[in-house]
Chains A and B, each alone.
Chain A
Amino acid sequence: MTEKLKHFQRDEDIFVKALAARRHHRMAPVVLLLLALLTTGGIYAALAPSTAKAETVSTADIETGKKLFQANCATCHGPNAEGTDGVPSLVGVGAASVDFQVSTGRMPMQMNGPQAVAKPAQFNEEQTAALAGYVASLGAGPAIPTDEQVDASLGDPSNGMALFRTNCAMCHNAVGAGGALSEGKFAPALWETSERNIYQAMQTGPQSMPVFNDANITPDEKRDIVSFLVEQREGSAGGNSLGALGPVSEGLWAFAIGLGLLIGAAVWIGAKSS
């Protein structure tokens, strides 16, 4: 160990000396400046929010989507999806947002309430795609993620855990069992949510949820989070997970099952002699 360290230090010494020798070259500032520009530019290019890629939706689909939209969504969102009083415009929300809202059944909304709740989807996959294509054609926005982007087996659940607990767990619970928000709103449990929908929710920030764009959490990191959440569905190594809700449900079951059985046994023992 120490041998290795010394070796390493010696190497470093040589490197530092070489660097010091070249530092005084008159081209050094220019090279450095170029390098700095390249790095920042490169990083920006890599991290900048991606705009919608060319849609694979045909014009005919967009037409169908428009008709569906006008029949089912225009009452609230306006005939051209420009939004009405208190209802958001859909120009620029992107296909991902439409796919999330429609495929989880949140839209069309059933009734006014603290938030739109998930329910069985009202449109089939084709119709949803047509709707998404139409809305995407109105303005650029996040595209629907590819299957590879949401493939849990390609993600790193450990990194996903670290990201999830810093960005998501305060609302969704440590393992995505859901949690309360103010005034009757809530962060839903993620046990049943499809990988694609989890990804889309991060991309588009539905309802109370903030947007986690690709600069904030990169596509790879989003996949890590998906991977972490999918892993949680395997259940607990310790037995029944009791809803993964933490000490409150544990306490409830301690009384209901543990103390219930023990008091039952005490009554039985007490009744045995008298």
Chain B
Amino acid sequence: MSTATHDTKREAPAKPTTTVGKAADYLDQRTSIGLAVKEFARKVFPDHWSFMLGEIALFSFVVLIASGFFLTMFFEPSMALETYEGEHPANMHGQLMSVAFASTLDMSFEVRGGLLMRQIHHWSALIFMASIVVHMMRVFFTGAFRKPREINWIVGLILMILGLAAGFTGYSLPDDVLSGNGLRITDGVVKSIPVVGSFMSYMIFGGEFPGHHIVPRLFTLHIFVIPGILLALIALHLFLMVLQKHTQYPGGGRTDKNVVGYPAMPVYVAKMTGNFFIVAGVLVLMGATMSINNVWNYGPFDPSPVSAGAQPDWYMLFLEGSLRLMPGQGTEWVILGYTLPLNVLVPAVVIPGILFTFLFVYPFLEARVTKDDKEHHVLDRPRNKPARTALGVAFLAAFIILALAGSNDLIATHFGLSINAITWVFRILFFVGPVFAYYITKRICLGLQRKDRELVLHGHESGRIVRFANGEYIEVHTPLDEQERWLRVNYEAPAPLEIAPKTDARGVKRKGYASDKRWQGLSRFFYEDRVAPVSPAEVEAAHSHGEHDQLNGSERQAVEAGAGTTSREH
């Protein structure tokens, strides 16, 4: 392809000679695809390892599709009962089980490579969700969700939720005890919703739990509906990314009006291809060496047994933890004969509702309290937006505390602690931890910003102490180079909103003042503590009284001669 274009460029319309060239020419004459290829090949992408996190998610999705395709060849989504005749594993021989479970065993023990495929599929699902979450963290902490990318942030969030849904529906398909326990919890959560709960549960399960419909229904969702929407939204996500151009980290010469990086062809095409093989390789390695979800350990679904250590996959663990932390006594209210199970409703519906709402509204909230309608293509360093970074860390703290609470029994056995004590500690931590995390993170950010100011104004400490003829001692500072300074001074530190006074010139109360006041309060929460970037005037001022930290011209020579040094240290 590339040779063909190069040839045509240089020597007018020469006929392509290679096979690939001829094929490309054939295609180009009929579709004009050359234009699109040229456009994309010249697209410039900035380089940073953290920009590859989303790529990991994309490639694990490709592996998920490929391995999932294999699994559908052998899985039978039926809840009809049969007696398992297979010899392996021995503890399942002769057990009564659903066809879905039997086909999972069959796929694992009879189909060549079946167990490997199942394990690759499951590990890919865990890595898919993990890389999505880490990618979201990157986007959040660097402010990549700001205008014009709010829509893509929302698309990404929906992708994340669809990922959860895909994981949940797939996890429940083998119809084993563990996933059945998960479905039972789902049933309970749905039923806890006032008024419509029981109707919804009957609709989902086609009658009373577990019924005979849930596995086929989840199967359709898992292999058709959810991946279909996922694919479409991934396409939209990537299209918007290309359309809006990729964000870049701050640095010399990088502005909101340019993109500094390498062209897609050949640099990124090579890097992406390489990364795809690395992702696929790691996933296959995991699938081949580490067992995952050995459903025959749990046995075919039966509503009565629940084994110790029954937890969902990691991305659902926060819900499990939320349920485990909620005190059960006194939280189930009966009002006029109707039960309001707050012990389920609050941890399983309200708390995740709050967490997800925060993610959905945050970009708009931040734009509102910043009064910001500019386009942003240069990312923020997390320290330069202390309130945002602190809120993000607080959110993560809440999420991690809930996930740990969902593992409280394993923490108890592995660290020799009392499960009751752990539960109480997490109950308190859930409220205290995020506040503490917010405060600490914000202080660290502000501290780092002040350190940056210090550096810009006074330069690096060189460790050289110099004594002047008059007996004064100074420490010599090395000034920052252009790149270092650019990184530290080129950021915005918004101030809290300023609003119009309560009354107008004639003393009449202004409409909308109360609302303005509230927004201003929120804006103060965000920006009251701020460290402004160093202005050029400040740099000038610092340099003008440079005798305290820098040595200039003749003075330096004199000092160096006096001290007997000939070389400057950096």
Q: Which residues does A use to contact B, with CB under 8 Å?
A: 114, 157-158, 160-162, 165-166, 169-175, 177-184, 186-187, 228, 231-232, 236-242, 244-255, 257-259, 261-263, 265-267, 269-274
Q: Are A161 and B91 in contact (CB under 8 A)?
A: yes
Q: Are A271 and B314 in contact (CB under 8 A)?
A: no
Residues of B within 8 A of A247 (CB): 178, 293, 311-314, 317
CB distance from A265 to the nearest CB of B (A): 5
Q: Are A158 and B262 in contact (CB under 8 A)?
A: no
CB < 8 Å neighbour of B47 from A172, A228, A255, A274: A274
Residues of A within 8 A of B299 (CB): 161-162, 165, 174
Residues of B within 8 A of A273 (CB): 47, 262, 267, 271
Q: Mark B398-427, 1 if CB is under 8 A from A, else 0.
A: 000000001111101100111111000000
Residues of A within 8 A of B408 (CB): 180
Q: Mark B293-335, 1 if CB is under 8 A from A, else 0.
A: 1100111001011111111111101000000000000000000
Q: Are A269 and B274 in contact (CB under 8 A)?
A: yes
Chain B, Cβ-Cβ closest to A251: B314
Give bound CA distance, A244 to B294, whole Å.
Answer: 9
- Would you call B142 an interface residue if the criterion is a C-beta within 8 Å of the partner chain's C-beta atoms? no
Q: Are A184 and B178 in contact (CB under 8 A)?
A: no
Residues of B within 8 A of A179 (CB): 307-309, 409, 413
Most B C-beta atoms less than 10 A away, residue of A183, A232, A265: A265
Residues of B within 8 A of A246 (CB): 178, 309-311
- Would you call B109 an interface residue if the criterion is a C-beta within 8 Å of the partner chain's C-beta atoms? yes
Chain B, Cβ-Cβ closest to A224: B91
Q: Mark B14-45, 1 if CB is under 8 A from A, else 0.
A: 00000000000000000000000000000000
Size bracket of the B interface: 35 or more
* Other A-B pairs, 9, CB within 8 Å; known A246-B178, A262-B56: A169-B306, A174-B309, A179-B308, A180-B413, A183-B418, A254-B314, A263-B53, A263-B134, A269-B271
CB < 8 Å neighbour of A158 from B92, B294, B410, B419: B92
A238 and B311 contact, Cβ closer than 8 Å, known pairs A158-B90, A175-B297: no
Q: Are A262 and B288 in contact (CB under 8 A)?
A: no
Give bound CA distance, A240 to B119, whole Å.
Answer: 12
Q: Are B418 and A270 in contact (CB under 8 A)?
A: no
- Would you call B233 an interface residue if the criterion is a C-beta within 8 Å of the partner chain's C-beta atoms? no
A161 and B291 contact, Cβ closer than 8 Å, known pairs A269-B49, A270-B52: no
Q: Which residues does B use to contact A, with CB under 8 Å?
A: 47-53, 55-56, 88-95, 108-109, 115, 119, 122-123, 126-127, 130-131, 134, 177-178, 262, 267, 271, 274-275, 278-279, 282-283, 286, 288-294, 297-299, 302, 304-315, 317, 406-410, 412-413, 416-421
Q: Are A180 and B307 in contact (CB under 8 A)?
A: no
Question: What are 25 A-B pairs at a CB distance below 8 A?
Answer: A158-B92, A158-B95, A169-B305, A169-B306, A169-B308, A174-B177, A174-B308, A179-B409, A180-B409, A180-B412, A180-B413, A236-B294, A237-B89, A237-B115, A238-B119, A247-B293, A247-B312, A251-B314, A258-B123, A258-B130, A258-B286, A259-B130, A259-B134, A265-B278, A266-B55
Q: Are A238 and B419 in contact (CB under 8 A)?
A: no
CB < 8 Å neighbour of B123 from A174, A228, A254, A274: A254
CB < 8 Å neighbour of B291 from A184, A237, A267: A237
Give bound CA distance, A263 to B92, whole Å.
Answer: 39
CB distance from A55 to the nearest CB of B (A): 35
Chain B, Cβ-Cβ closest to A254: B126
Q: Are B93 and A158 in contact (CB under 8 A)?
A: yes
CB < 8 Å neighbour of A166 from B289, B304, B310: B304
Residues of B within 8 A of A270 (CB): 47-52
CB distance from A61 to the nearest CB of B (A): 37
Residues of A within 8 A of B304 (CB): 166
Give bound CA distance, A266 to B51, whole Å.
Answer: 9
Residues of A within 8 A of B119 (CB): 238-239
Residues of A within 8 A of B297 (CB): 174-175, 232, 244
CB distance from A176 to the nearest CB of B (A): 10
A166 and B275 contact, Cβ closer than 8 Å, known pairs A174-B299, A246-B311: no
CB distance from B270 to the nearest CB of A (A): 9
CB < 8 Å neighbour of B90 from A182, A231, A274: A231
The 4 A-B residue pairs with the shortest CB-CB distance in the complex, in nearest-first order: A179-B308, A251-B314, A238-B291, A270-B49
